[in-house]
Amino acid sequence: MEKRKVLLIGGGGREAAIAWHIDRTCADVELHATPGNPGIAEFAACHSVKADDLDALCVLGKSLRPDLTIVGPEAPLVAGIVDRFDDELSLSVVGPNAAAAFLEGSKVRAKRFMRRHGIPTAPFHVFDNPNSAERYLESVAYNPVVIKADGLCGGKGVIIPHSLDSQFAAVAEIMRDKRFGPAGDRIVIEKKLEGVECSLLVLADGVNAIPFPAARDFKRRFDGDKGPNTGGMGCFCPIPDISPDLLEEIMDDIVYPTIRGMAYEGHPYRGVLYFGLMLTEDGPKVLEYNCRFGDPETEVILPILTEDWNFVDLLGLTLEANSGLETVELKWQGVAVGVVAVHEGYPGKSSRGVPVDVTNVGKTGSLVFHAGTKLDTSGNLVTDGGRIAVCVGLGKDFRTAREQSYGGIALLDFEGRAYRDDIAEQIAQSEPI
């Protein structure tokens, strides 16, 4: 069989899950990844180009000539990798072009887009200088708000202050001290919403959209949702509180207005679109858009999909409007719980060069997706980041899946290992025995 060449850009847990899922559903694919990681290397030929080096990615694209490219992280999408692969190399990429990726690249533009199209979201104001932001905060006395830097900040640009003083400190940090550089030239101040969060990812072809099973991400570093925000400490999927009726409401009031709004404004959205939602008493509202697969959502979504879709074919349907995507119904089975093993100093610190042993994890039945690992010069597996690996347990219920993922984490060994103990605990406890 002649194989299709697929290039996967990225090298974290999300890309490891995508590589694993391609391996199990696409016998007709020769997978390449860049930069990949040692887990991804089990399924792909890895190249050394970094995901945010667009010039080098174009050189790699030119020499490999992949039939399809899949982009994991947001930075190359926002910087225009889709446009460059298309314009310079005539190569197809799954994902939005730069003009559509503003949904993640600019919180100000995303909020204004939602306002224009009547998409439910928290009320907000935009400020481009700190004095007026401070005057506003003072004028409303203390109101619970969320303060967001406009541009990409690697998941760290959202601050939820708990007093007027800390609101001022947040404005100063972003706008005066420029902690995030030019990403903080403008800020959004929006009402803090109460409710339950969920991540809904859809595949879109510019006109149609189909949902993946929804997932819940645990963003805070410590048990009980305490401590700083992180890139994600764990996740579970699906979310039982999302009934078919609620999903329909989300598709009608949020997903389709977004897809139609983007097409109306001349930027039809193609690829994966991630809706970060708050399920409030007044219904679901959008907290944020991401223009890609979520991490660690992907690590729990893909393993429960049934294998009746060749994943590369499925993603390929997003490249062209009305390619048949509208008739696809994704099927999934059972539940998944993912627990992230991090370095104890994460998110402040990361770990480099410390030996990692994953050999026993599989004995528990848990999957292990490498995130921050690499091979040292002697070929030994060592740490290389803050989030080291994700153990994913599967089962018919959350109790079983949880036991499996925690069994895996216990056998994933490296010095300084840390993880949250309470991922999916509540949902498992609420299940009938």
Task: Output the six-digit token pair for 219.
Answer: 């963003």
Task: Output the six-digit token pair for 201.
Answer: 């990812």
When asked if residue 219 is in the footprint of ligand AMP (CB under 6 A), the reply is yes
Q: How far is the CB of 183 from ligand AMP (least distance, A)?
A: 12
Q: How far is the CB of 333 from ligand AMP (least distance, A)?
A: 27
String of contacts with ligand GLY for each residue 255-294, x by CB under 6 A: -----------------------------------x---x
- Give the nearer residue to ligand AMP in terms of CB position, either 104 or 299: 104
CA distance 367 to 355: 20
When asked if residue 125 is in the footprint of ligand AMP (CB under 6 A), the reply is no
CA distance 49 to 58: 10
- Give the nearer residue to ligand AMP in terms of CB position, either 123 or 353: 123
Task: Output the six-digit token pair for 429.
Answer: 């406890």
String of contacts with ligand AMP for each residue 249-278, x by CB under 6 A: ---------------------------x--
DSSP string, 305-329: B-TTS-HHHHHHGGGSTTSSGGG--
CA distance 298 to 214: 10
- Kindly tell me which residue out of 287, 317, 367, 390 binds ligand AMP, with binding defined by CB under 6 A: 287
Residue 122 binds: one of ligand AMP, ligand GLY, none (C-beta under 5 to 8 A by kind): ligand AMP
When asked if residue 146 is in the footprint of ligand AMP (CB under 6 A), the reply is yes
Task: Output the six-digit token pair for 400.
Answer: 């079983």
Instruction: State which residue has the least CB distance to ligand GLY.
Output: 294
Amino acid at 260: R
Q: How many residues bind ligand AMP (CB under 6 A)?
A: 13
Region for residue 418 given its phi and psi (left: phi exceeds 0; alpha: psi -120 to 50; beta: otherwise):
beta
When asked if residue 112 is in the footprint of ligand AMP (CB under 6 A), the reply is no
Under 8 Å between Cβ of 193 and 287: yes
- Relative to beta strand 373-375, strand 381-385 is antiparallel
User: Would you tell me which residues interact with ligand GLY (CB under 6 A)?
Assistant: 155, 217, 232, 290, 294-295, 297
